[in-house]
């Protein structure tokens, strides 16, 4: 697992207030992009999408990550649960780039180009340090 640079960690932590305020809007936009791929969409629980529960859970996970990027050990239990869920639903390592490719433009769509340009490289660098390792 790669560790994000100190600069990337600072930027990711600084996004926490925006994620707190706009996290669900970001993850909802991300899922809309992600589900353009019907094979990926089929992997998800539609009821959790329809109810809004899945975007809320992901927004909370991203916020927790942003707040704890410098102390990822604090996320151990939550990450373990996420890994178990991903294994149960057939998520593989090759699926994570689809999420990144949907999430980063969703950040831009919700927060605007200027902020997205500043934070995108840091979230991308930081994201690789948090991606669960799936066999």
Residue 61's CATH number: 1.10.490.10
Report yes or no on 1 lying in a domain: no
Higher-pLDDT residue of 91 and 1 is: 91
- Predicted confidence (pLDDT) at residue 35 exceeds the cutoff of 90: yes
Count of the separate structural domains present in the chain: 1
Helix (H) or strand (E) holding 103: helix 96-111
Alpha carbon separation from 29 to 35, 72, 129 (Å, rounded) = 10, 26, 23
The answer to whether position 116 is within a domain reads: yes
Residue 44 maps to a domain: yes
Domain, as residue range, for 109: 6-130
Q: Is residue 115 part of a domain?
A: yes
Helices 16-34, 53-68: axis angle to 10 degrees equals 140
pLDDT of the residue at 127: 54
Residue 135 lies in a domain: no
Residue 132, CB-side half-sphere exposure with 13 Å CA sphere: 20
pTM of the model: 0.79
pLDDT digits (tens, 9 = 90+) for 57-75: 999 999 999 999 998 888 8
pLDDT at 51: 95
């Amino acid at each position: 697992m790669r560790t994000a640079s100190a600069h990337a960690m600072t930027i990711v932590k600084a996004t926490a207030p925006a994620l707190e305020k706009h996290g669900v809007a970001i993850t909802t936009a991300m899922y809309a992009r992600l589900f353009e791929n019907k094979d990926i969409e089929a992997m998800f629980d539609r009821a959790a999408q329809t109810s809004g529960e899945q975007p809320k859970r992901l927004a909370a996970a991203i916020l927790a990550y942003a707040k704890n990027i410098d102390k990822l050990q604090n996320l151990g239990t939550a990450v373990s649960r996420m890994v178990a869920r991903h294994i149960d639903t057939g998520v593989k390592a090759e699926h994570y780039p689809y999420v990144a490719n949907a999430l980063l433009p969703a950040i831009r769509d919700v927060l605007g180009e200027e902020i997205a340009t500043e934070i995108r490289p840091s979230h991308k660098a930081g994201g690789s340090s948090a991606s669960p390792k799936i066999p």
